[in-house]
A and B are shown apart, each in its own frame.
Chain A
Amino acid sequence: MQFLSSHPTPAGNQSEDDIDKVFKQLLPVEPSSELISRILAHIRHVVRPMPTASEPPDFEGLDSLVIRNERRDPS
């Protein structure tokens, strides 16, 4: 297997090399259902603070599309 070769993806705008192909085989590590239950049980005992600002939370922002930040100075 060659790691140095690359070829265009079906999308055409990015190339996919063999590193990409190998890492496509990276299996997901799933959280157990017990862990999810533990988290939700923990949350039920967490006291949520009251809003500190007069403005309501920005829920629309949570659903916003990702803003392209290419205009920021590269670091």
Chain B
Amino acid sequence: MQLRERIKGQPIELTDGMLAQQTLAGDEEAFARLVQRYSSSLFNFICRFLSDYDAASDILQQVFTQLYVSLPNLRTGEPLKAWLFQVARNRCLDELRRKRIIHFSELQAPGEDDDLSPLAIIPDTGPLPEEIAERHDLQSMLQRAIDALPPKFRAVVLLRYASQLSFSEIGQALQMPEATAKTYFQRAKPLLRASLKEQIPPLAS
């Protein structure tokens, strides 16, 4: 009896599928719960990917709008979490392409070209005067190291570090084998290490 009451007192955690079903039935609160469930991890990923808070806000709205209009025909066969991050990554790449701050060749699908260009390997190590003043700002340092990564590595690194996804989930989100996600992650680390060493020399000692 006591056990039943304790269980009765606990909020029931509805699955994504249940919430999606309730949303389709007209329950707006159910969709709001989906938004609450994933907005933080998605926004963290998008914001870190673009280094642009306003653009990240717009893209987060686009991702949830796409989810909302896609619900009646959603047959992904994959977890909602992976689907959301997949959409977010694609929107981020669209945004970068729109700003023309990455080369088209960097947007190639995984596996089309695993070799890094020499320019992509060289980290942006020339600090501006104001950047020197920020050297002790760990967050700025980490963000610059992330920004220096080619987009395909940046996505893997952020999904791992910022959104805490497993490599299985990263593979799903980026539509690549789990082993490839691990490989990209490992290949990104020397680039991060190089950036951090150059920007914060004391840390490299």
A residues within 8 Å of B by Cβ? Answer: 1, 3-4, 17, 19, 22-31, 35-36, 38-40, 42-44, 46, 48-53, 55, 57-75
CB pair A62–B74 under 8 Å, yes or no, is yes
CB pair A25–B138 under 8 Å, yes or no, is yes
Per DSSP, chain B at the interface is helix
Closest 8 CB pairs of A and B: A75-B111, A59-B17, A31-B43, A66-B168, A62-B80, A51-B72, A63-B17, A23-B161
A-B contact count (CB 8 A): 173
Contacts of B17 in A (CB 8 A): 59-63
Compute how far the CA of A35 lies from the CA of B183 in the bound complex, rounded to whole angstroms. Answer: 35
CB pair A26–B78 under 8 Å, yes or no, is no
CB pair B76–A58 under 8 Å, yes or no, is yes
Q: How many residues of B contact A (CB 8 A)?
A: 69
Contacts of A46 in B (CB 8 A): 65, 68-69
Contacts of B197 in A (CB 8 A): 3
**B20 at interface (Cβ–Cβ under 8 A)?**
yes
**B106 at interface (Cβ–Cβ under 8 A)?**
no
Partner of A74, one of B64, B142, B179: B179
**Contacts A42-B65, A44-B28, A74-B180 given: A26-B80 contact, CB under 8 Å?**
no
Q: Which residue of A lies closest to B23 (CB)?
A: A48
Contacts of A48 in B (CB 8 A): 68-69, 71-72
Partner of B142, one of A25, A40, A49: A25
**B35 at interface (Cβ–Cβ under 8 A)?**
yes
CB pair B76–A62 under 8 Å, yes or no, is yes
> Could you tell me the distance in whole angstroms from the C-beta of B38 to the nearest C-beta in chain A?
11
CB pair B162–A26 under 8 Å, yes or no, is yes
A-B contact pairs, 20 of them (CB 8 A): A3-B203, A3-B204, A26-B162, A36-B35, A39-B39, A40-B31, A43-B65, A44-B28, A46-B69, A53-B73, A57-B74, A62-B74, A63-B16, A66-B82, A68-B168, A69-B172, A70-B177, A74-B179, A75-B110, A75-B111
Contacts of B20 in A (CB 8 A): 57, 59, 62
CB pair A35–B189 under 8 Å, yes or no, is no
Contacts of A55 in B (CB 8 A): 75
Contacts of A3 in B (CB 8 A): 193, 196-197, 203-204
CB pair A26–B142 under 8 Å, yes or no, is yes
Q: Which residue of A lies closest to B17 (CB)?
A: A59
Partner of B73, one of A39, A51, A66: A51
Compute how far the CA of A60 lies from the CA of B138 in the bound complex, rounded to whole angstroms. Answer: 42
CB pair B69–A49 under 8 Å, yes or no, is yes
Contacts of B166 in A (CB 8 A): 66
Compute how far the CA of A66 lies from the CA of B112 in the bound complex, rounded to whole angstroms. Answer: 24
